[in-house]
Amino acid sequence: MSNKPSNKPWHRLPTPLALLKLIRFRETLRQKNLHDTSQIPDAEKLPHPTPDPEGRHLTTRTFDGSFNDLEHPEMGMLGTRFGRNVPLKDTYPDLKNIMTPNPRVISRALMTRDQFIPATSLNLLAASWIQFQNHDWFAHHNHPSKKFEIPLEQDDPWPEEHRPMMVAHTAEDETRLPGDTSAPPTYISRSRASQRHH
């Protein structure tokens, strides 16, 4: 019997082998694609989840996203820090070159569609993954006054009445210790209170 790993995709394997393969995927993702920001020192301002007195948090999804991981119930909770998909040492912003390459040029090159291109396949995890992505893109605090001005090309169809293109900075993480530069910037997901106002 061969000891070579199967080249079949996980969903075509017998259930026990499929589960083993998924566990390996998860371990690889956690090692190489999920980087924790919660270990960076904080000023005791991060929220701490409260268990439901009747134990519903053990069997039901919570509104604030707590208790998805019972060992770390605050993981992914509203008002906590966003994690990173690259090592933390690579997340220091290069403000001098932040517009190189121009994000609008990249966006137009990759995302412009002149005609409808239908999807030929769709993974069942797509809906939940898109939801997570949307939360990362939109469920954060914007700085009330700091903005990036995005240079536009002559042929850019961006409406004249909204020029120049301005994009708000993400607000700083106020849970960090004052003056702490030992780690790169971190960012907070919107709290339950701020979500009610948006």
Active site residues: 135
DSSP string, 51-97: --TTSGGGTS--TT-TTSSSSSTTTT-TTSB--BSS-GGG-S--GGG
Q: What angle do CA 61, 62, 67 make, to 5 degrees?
A: 85
Rounded CA separation 153/116 (Å): 25
For residue 175, give the nearest of 75, 48, 41 by alpha carbon: 41
Residues 6+ apart with CB under 8 A from 57: 49, 51, 66, 67, 73
- And the tokens for 115? 């005609």
Nearest C-alpha neighbor of 10 from the set 20, 127, 2: 20
